[in-house]
Each structure stands twice: as structure tokens, then as C-alpha cells.
Amino acid sequence: MTFPFISRNLPATLRNSGFVATVLLAQACNSPSSQTASTSETPTDSTRTAAPVAPANSPLQVVAQFREPQMVGVAVLPDGRVFADFPRWDNNPVNPVAEVMPDGSVKGYPDANWCVWNETVKNEPQKHWICPQSVHADKTGMLWVLDPASPGIKGTVPGGPKLVKIDPKTDKVVQNISIPESVAARKSYLNDVRIDTQNQYAYITESGVGSLVVVDLKSGKARKLLAGHSSMMGDTTLNIKADGKELIDATGKRAQFNADGIALSQDMQYLYWKPLTSYTLFRIKTEALRNPALSDTQLAQQIEDLGKVPASDGMEIDADNNLYLSAFEDHSIKRRTRAGKIETVVQDPRLEWPDTFAFSGDGKTLYVTTSAIHKTPTWNKGLGKQDQPYYIFKMALK
């Protein structure tokens, strides 16, 4: 799931004046009387072209679509309930974590109070979604929300970074783990999470510094590992593109997205990850990550370089241990087989920056979001160019 570096859909005078940082904190994300939100908000992008059209044979089916705000993550429970998250990157979503209802509307989750972040609750950073980046359903059907607590990617709110477990049967928070500043520094950005239900650990990619974070779910203790290691860092020399255009900001700086995509093998013995701006896939035994006696130097010796894969954002592993990658350079979803072969699962122009994956409970249906990162103002000289809604798609797997 992407570490965005974005500022969208506001006039340059407001973006440059610090208005964004002020409004992120000063406005509530929900009101007590506002439990649902329409998926068809008025478009606000400054320049637009004709939206991509679905190929006649595309297997992608639309689950939901949102013109604004920007969405990144998706989670699907065994009973079919779908959840999404809308981080506070540069807008103020009404429902930063939401259940996506069958009619496509959204409902703030787990309740309206969790969705509020403003001056009235700033002293309770552990009780509210500040900038939720990832939603994930584990093998037991529990829902996890990872909140790096860095609105606008401008630095973490003190006391805000957290990993939250919610029981969907009761829609109540059952565990709330605060990630300390020694692990999630002010410049950090906790990105994506996988849950090891066998050993009761969480594994997290952190994109700001470039590291892995390992959380003992029994004790709540978190450790930062391999910070700044080459396997964690994005490469700015690769000329990685989207829509055939290199990602370069207004200052001429190439995009560098550090540790991002993450996946856990079915037997939970291996953790896979890659920096977004990279063509290399890595993995390590989770047993090593759980061993606090190992130094970063010793851990680095156990990292396996699995070779070249497409530049991608999200990753997920199916029941046969095939690794799916959201390949944003060519609007596709790729699959890396256990033998290391790269296959194209689907290619569709509507996959504008495919972002995050989730599987249905039976593993036969793949869900994916689109976040159109490359069409945000940062990579287009200050002009947002989003020309279609943000989608949640699903497709049957063969």
C-alpha cells in the first residue's frame, strides 16, 4: 500500500500556505448524525481527460467506486463484509475507515467517534483514526487497522501510531497497540501489515525511514528492524513510470517509495516485501524476525533476494503460495508462481495504480483497489489529473 507524498485537489495558494496541515486537524471527519456517505461526491480534479474504458473481456467487476476522497486499502471478511480505508493525506474524509455496504455506500467504522479527529479530541490520539493506511482481515476473521498517524505525510502525531484489532462480530475494538516513537519516529510512515495468527505476531512495512516493524501481539511490544537496509529502500535510478511517464515532482526529484508491499506465506514461515520503486523481491524467515537476540547485521544475512519482479504496490499470497503483485506501470495484476515465473492475471486500463489486495474467505475471489497515485498533483506539476473514480474491483481466480 502506497506511501504517497501527495497533496491533492486544493489551490496552490492553499497548499503552499499551510492550509492543508491546519484543516487536517481542525475539521472533524464525521458528525454524530452522519453515519453514511455517498460514493458519488462531486469531482474536484483540476484537469481531466476521457476516463479509461473497460475492455470487453475484462474479468474485473466493480464492487464500489468513489470519486473522492482517495482510497487505498481493502479487507474482506469470511462472511463477505468489505472494508476500506481513506487516509488523511490531504483531505479530510468523513469515514477514514469504513464498511462498504452492498449498495456501495460507506459507513464509518467501528463507529462515528473513532472517525473524529479534530481539536476537541487531540488529547486522545489512541482513540481516533488519524491517518489510517491499511485494513487487513486475518485468518481468524479479525479486522486490523494500521494507523501511522501522519496526516498529510507531515510527521506523526505524538502518541498516535497504532495497530488496532476489531472483532467484526461485535464491531468493537478488542486490542489497541500503541507503536512508540522509538519504533515509529516522527518521519516514519507505517504502511501495511500482516498477522501471524500461529505465533501471535504482526509484521509491518514502514515506508518513511524504510524498515520492518515486528509486534508481539501478546505483550504489545514493537521492534524496528533493518532500518535503512538496502532491501528496504526505494531506488531512484530505475526511471519507474506510470502511464508511460516517469514519476518526477515539481522540483525535479524522482519518486522514492521505500518498503511497501508485504505478504505472508500460507504456513507463516516466510515474510515477503519490496520497496515500491524497485524491481526486486525479498523474503526472510519469520522465525528470525521474532528472535530479539538477532542484530540487524545478523538478520540481513538471512534476507533472500528472489530476483526481478515488476514495480508494484500491494502484494498478497493465495492458497497455493502464488504471489500477486499490483503492477502499476502497465495497469495490470501480475502473479509470481512458486517456481518464480511471472504471469499476467489481468490487464485493464481502469487499473490506474492498482494498490491493495484482499481475498474472499474461500480464496476464490481477488479484490483490488485503485488509488491513481500517479495522477495526483505531486507528479503533475501541481495539477490533479484523476479522470475516473477510485475503484474496488473483484475478479474470480482461475
171 in a domain, yes or no? Answer: yes
7 in a domain, yes or no? Answer: no
Helix (H) or strand (E) holding 15: helix 12-17
Mean pLDDT of 123-127: 98
Query: What pLDDT score does 162 carry?
Result: 98
Number of domains composing the chain: 1
What's the predicted TM-score (pTM) here? 0.89
What is the tens place of the pLDDT at every residue in 12-67? 333 333 333 333 333 333 333 333 333 433 334 444 567 899 999 999 999 999 99
Determine the Cα–Cα distance for residues 66 and 73; give it in Å rounded to an integer: 13
178 in a domain, yes or no? Answer: yes
Mean pLDDT of 362-371: 97
- Cell (9 digits) for 283: 523474503
Of 44-53, 243-252, 342-351, 373-382, the one with minimum mean pLDDT is 44-53
334 in a domain, yes or no? Answer: yes
Residue span of the structural domain in which 366 resides? 12-396
What is the tens place of the pLDDT at every residue in 270-317? 999 999 999 999 999 999 999 999 999 999 999 999 999 999 999 999
Mean pLDDT of 373-378: 90
1 in a domain, yes or no? Answer: no
What is the tens place of the pLDDT at every residue in 384-395? 898 899 999 999
Helix (H) or strand (E) holding 99: strand 97-100
What is the tens place of the pLDDT at every residue in 139-148? 999 999 999 9
259 in a domain, yes or no? Answer: yes
233 in a domain, yes or no? Answer: yes
State how far the alpha carbon of 9 is from the alpha carbons of 1, 48, 64, 223, 337, in Å.
Answer: 21, 12, 22, 37, 39
4 in a domain, yes or no? Answer: no
- Cell (9 digits) for 92: 479530510
Domain holding 99: CATH number? 2.120.10.30
Quote the mean pLDDT of the chain.
Answer: 89
